[in-house]
Amino acid sequence: MSAAVEHTESATEASHDAHGHEHGHDGHVPKDSYFIKIAIILAVVTALETSTYWWPESLSGVATPALLIMMAIKFFMIVSIFMHLKFDSKVFSFMFYTGLGLAIFVYLVFLFTFQFFRT
Amino acid sequence: MADIAVHDVDHAHTDHGGYDDHAPHATSTGLTNNKLSMWLFLGSECLLFGGLISTYMLYRGRHQTGPGPDQIFDIPLTSVSSFILLMSSLTMVLAVNSAKRKDDRNTSLWLTITALLGALFVGGQVYEFTSFYHEGLGFTTSLFGSSFYTLTGFHGVHVTLGIIMLMVVVFIMQRDRITGDKAEVVELVGLYWHFVDVVWVIIFTLVYLIPS
């Protein structure tokens, strides 16, 4: 994997790891081709999501959990790779995931209060 | 005493998106305040969109006085829009990488392409809203209509603001008026843009694809 790494600034100071990115004094900078691969994966997942629209009625029970899983995969891929959260300080992750966690908690309580999940 | 503490922290954070020892504006956390505040802002935006999405989920079945989601949604069209926005995230990340390489020409190019893809997405949304209106779904037609237009409209406004931010960055880059770290400015706009994309990932699934 370290072959798929490019140096953006200080080539001599950078050290490579096994995730297609480098440790330089300016942080981790994955190569363009790494992001293109991620974008292809995201496009394939989006195509799979869209395909559920034409799935037969008998598969409707599977479609919703599959869609939620694919949504979560896309969400975390964009946030951790495109937004560099995976490569940046954990403080940034804390800031974002605290807001996200709070939002999920508050609005799940809201939906339960209004009996959204009642069958 | 304080200087020593700042110096020690800087050493501990150089590999985590913070400042190195020679950074012009070192902070006590070793992280840039601009980036920290952008992440804090994005965390708070989760609460805004969380409220809008959950309100839509609650009201999406309330459409006795007008068309419902199953009657008006055009999934193939929305899928193309989603794909366009997704690809704009790729062009944005390529712009950020170019900025880190101090390649101003490619940075401007990728930022402009990102803005164009964003404009295409907004154009698709305007087309969608217009066709929904002609099919009888106005803002006050039903609770479904109100919550749908509010949610997707707020998102569309965010995309539009993102396009303006992208074009402003291209404009000031070409005139060499960015006084600080250019790569950081592009990265901050990029964070906002990716967030807008990630919100659409959720909206596309919960609003359009999961049947009510």
Same domain, A83 and A116: no
Q: Which residues contact A20 (CB under 8 A, 6 or more apart)?
A: A1, A2, A4, A5, A30, A31, A34
User: What is the dotted CATH code of the domain comprising B45-209?
Assistant: 1.20.120.80
pLDDT tens by residue, B166-181: 999 999 988 877 777 7
Higher pLDDT, A88 or A16: A88
Interface predicted TM-score (ipTM): 0.82
Same domain, A74 and A57: yes
Residues of chain A contacting residue B46, judged by C-beta atoms under 8 Å apart: 96, 99-100, 102-103
For residues B205 and A45, what is the distance between their CA atoms, to the nearest angstrom? 12
Q: Which domain holds residue A84?
A: 39-88
Given A49, A67, A111, which is nearest B57 (Cβ)?
Answer: A111
Given A70, A95, A116, which is nearest B43 (Cβ)?
Answer: A95
Same domain, A55 and A82: yes
Residues of chain A contacting residue B43, judged by C-beta atoms under 8 Å apart: 95-100
Mean pLDDT of B84-92: 96
What local confidence, expressed as pLDDT, does residue B199 receive? 96
Same domain, A84 and A97: no
Same domain, A111 and A77: no
- Chain B within 8 Å of A69 (Cβ-Cβ)? no
Q: Tell if the pTM clears 0.80, that is, is over it.
A: yes
The single residue listed with the structure tokens 């603001």 is B161
Give chain A's domain count. 3
Task: Identify any residues that bridge with B38 across adjacent strands, giving them in sequence order.
Answer: none
Number of H helices, E strands in chain B: 7, 0
The single residue listed with the structure tokens 């110096």 is B7
For residues B176 and B156, what is the distance between their CA atoms, to the nearest angstrom? 30
Same domain, A56 and A68: yes
Same domain, A81 and A93: no
pLDDT tens by residue, B119-167: 999 999 999 999 999 999 999 999 999 999 999 999 999 999 999 999 9
Same domain, A59 and A94: no
Same domain, A26 and A64: no
Task: Give CA angle at A79 (A77, A85), nearest 5°.
Answer: 110
Q: Which residues contact A59 (CB under 8 A, 6 or more apart)?
A: none
For residues B168 and A82, what is the distance between their CA atoms, to the nearest angstrom? 22
Same domain, A57 and A77: yes
> Could you tell me where in chain B the CATH 1.20.120.80 domains are found?
45-209
Lowest mean pLDDT among A57-61, B71-75, B101-105: A57-61
Same domain, A43 and A83: yes
Same domain, A75 and A110: no
